[in-house]
């Protein structure tokens, strides 16, 4: 197995988490005690910034450091939501490998499967330089990078010292309101 592919298989869980974080917004409010913005009660005036989540009022620098983290977590949750857990039983299978750009690079197509019975599948494409002796940064596109019209861009990215990768976001969530397809059954 090529060293490049081993590197990507080893980072497969990270790749899946990264992809899911770019693609999904979890709307499972209620089961973890969170409310949607529409369900939040109105607050008259400004909240007391020193009132800790425990209900205790902060009195010290240590209390304020703790409260500051609570406020940051709250703001991040309201702004971005929360990250779903990693999918279980993930498997990566190389489905295609082709040399490109006069032998300078290889385009690998990988099928990631995950879920209890591998029911969710996602196509990933990775352009790897042939001569790679050390890790390189990745430019990651949430779209199908394996189409021919993106090859000039891929070649330029590789020439600049990067790896170019992407995935078919429609495998995870189609651009519609249907929440029964893609990864939605894994994150109800």
Q: Is 169 helix (H, G, I), strand (E, B) or coil?
A: helix
pLDDT at 9: 47
Q: Note the Cα 57 to chain centre separation in Å.
A: 37
Q: Pinpoint the alpha helices (H) of the chain.
A: 3-10, 12-23, 61-80, 151-159
pLDDT at 14: 52
* CA distance linking residue 87 with residue 12, whole number of Å: 11
Q: Which residues make beta-bridge pairs with 105? A: 100, 129
pLDDT at 157: 92
pLDDT at 57: 94
pLDDT at 99: 95
Q: Which residues make beta-bridge pairs with 140? A: 165
* CA distance linking residue 128 with residue 105, whole number of Å: 5
Give the residues of the chain that fall short of pLDDT 70. Answer: 1-34, 84-85, 87-88, 186-188
Phi-psi region of 42 (alpha: psi -120 to 50; beta: other; left: phi over 0): beta
pLDDT at 84: 67
What is the H or E stretch that residue 167 is in? Answer: strand 163-167
* CA distance linking residue 124 with residue 94, whole number of Å: 9
pLDDT at 145: 87
Q: Taking Cα atoms as reference points, which of 117, 67, 73 lies closest to residue 91?
A: 117
């Amino acid at each position: 197995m090529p060293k490049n592919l081993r590197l990507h298989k080893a980072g497969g869980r990270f790749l899946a988490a990264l992809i899911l974080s770019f693609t999904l917004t979890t709307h499972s409010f209620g089961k973890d005690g969170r409310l949607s913005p529409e369900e939040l009660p109105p607050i008259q005036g400004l909240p007391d910034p020193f009132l800790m989540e425990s209900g205790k009022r902060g009195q010290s620098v240590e209390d304020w450091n703790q409260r500051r983290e609570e406020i940051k977590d709250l703001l991040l949750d309201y702004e971005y939501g929360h990250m779903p857990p990693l999918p279980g039983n993930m498997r990566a299978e190389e489905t295609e490998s082709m040399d490109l750009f006069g032998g300078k690079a290889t385009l690998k197509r990988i099928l990631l499967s995950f879920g209890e019975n591998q029911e969710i599948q996602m196509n990933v494409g990775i352009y790897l330089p042939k001569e790679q002796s050390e890790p390189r940064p990745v430019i990651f596109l949430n779209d199908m990078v394996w189409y021919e019209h993106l090859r000039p861009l891929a070649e330029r990215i590789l020439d600049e010292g990067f790896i170019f990768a992407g995935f078919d976001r429609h495998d995870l969530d189609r651009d519609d309101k249907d929440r029964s397809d893609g990864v939605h059954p894994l994150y109800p």
